[in-house]
Amino acid sequence: MTNWNLLSDEEFARAATDFVERACPPELRHLPHRPRWEKSAGWYQAMSREGWLAPGWPVEFGGMGLEPSRHLIYLEIFERLGTPAVAPQGIVNVGPALIGFGTDEQRQEFLPKILSGEHRWCQGFSEPNAGSDLASVRTEARPDGDGYIINGQKIWSTGAIDANWMYALVRTDKSVRKQAGLSFIMFPMDQPGVTVRPIRTISGGEEFCEVFLDHVRASAAHMVGGLNNGWKVANGLLGFERLWSGSAHQCRQALVRLKQVAHAAGKLQDPAFLRQITRLELDVLDLASCYTRSTRNLQVTRRVGFEASMLKIWATETCQRIGELMMEVGGDAVLVQDGTDFDGRHLDALTPFLEARAPTIYGGTVQIHRNILSKNVLNLPN
């Protein structure tokens, strides 16, 4: 097994580039939407087979064990070359949650199946009346023999249309305060009582879904972190998600699109535009530097701190500002769904602009994260 951290940055970047160019089909590159599993399974399995699937997992669990700076190079190259994010819930969320909070038996059962693609995951956290106020979850898990019977509804479950397992936050005790009565449990979706309905988004995709759970069964052995300890597990998982969403790589990709549109529109020499894009480029450089420090801190402490909230706000709002400037510069030419021709090349600017709305909402809205920072960092009153 290759120890990627022993390579120089240049050697690692070259190896990553060579792998993507060889293994990722051209038709999967730079897609405006995340591809369905039936189209992208081969790419997922190629990453798994050649050891490129889980850059942040420790080596002992089948990951690459990349140091933070090397992980950033990985993200930058895969994003620049337009590789699709395929079934990311298992790699980004479930794996780290099991590594951090699961039992040895759970890790042995589930981690290899995430890596192989046998298990494809979706999240069951938000509900129609429990989004930003996640502690208000009403989906209930009732003890039944050696397991639980689950009834309720989840919404905004990314990738549920292709998932065969869900991890969910469920209420297991109504007699205590809201946060104390929740548990984190996993269950298969290919069973009676699970109904998945796609939700068409503003950009035309159907990645988000609502999921109805009617007497769905889950094994007690698949509860992570212990009974009524789901709030701790969920917050740990959301910390990883927020740190991931605080990366600068999406902003960098948005800057590339902005420059392409600006070039086609003849704006690259316009002083007003240059002031705007320079400010954005400096914001992205500062974000990347802060993200690197945060990931290094995570490697030492194994704990995601409140800086994840700051990074999430910074990255998602910066990406939106880049998209807004792109629409301003491109004018009517960019108001075409699925793209149009710019300076001899086909470019879809509208879909990324529309999809940049969602990251400021999922994983906790930016308003909620400002509340987190004001209370826990600035010590402001409620």
DSSP string computed for 215-249: EEEEEGGGEESSTT-HHHHHHHHHHHHHHHHT-SH
Q: 328, 351, 329: which is closest to 338 by C-alpha?
A: 351
| Catalytic site residue from 241, 281, 307, 328 | 241
Q: How far is CA 145 from the centre of its chain?
A: 35
CA distance 93 to 54: 11
127 among known catalytic residues: no
CA distance 217 to 124: 15
Print the SS3 string covering 301-364.
HCCCCCHHHHHHHHHHHHHHHHHHHHHHHHHHHHCCCCCEEECCEEECCHHHHHHCCHHHCCCC
CA distance 114 to 116: 6
Contacts of residue 221, defined as CB under 8 A and 6 or more positions apart, other chains included, come to 105, 106, 146
| Residues in a beta bridge with 149 | 142, 217
CA distance 323 to 350: 9
Q: 195, 117, 95: which is closest to 155 by C-alpha?
A: 195
End-to-end CA distance of the chain: 51
Give the CA count within 13 Å in the CB-facing half-sphere of 65: 12
Taking residue 129's Cβ as centre, other Cβ atoms within 10 Å add up to 11
CA distance 29 to 25: 7
Q: Are 84 and 43 a contacting pair, CB within 8 Å?
A: yes
Residue numbers annotated as active site: 241
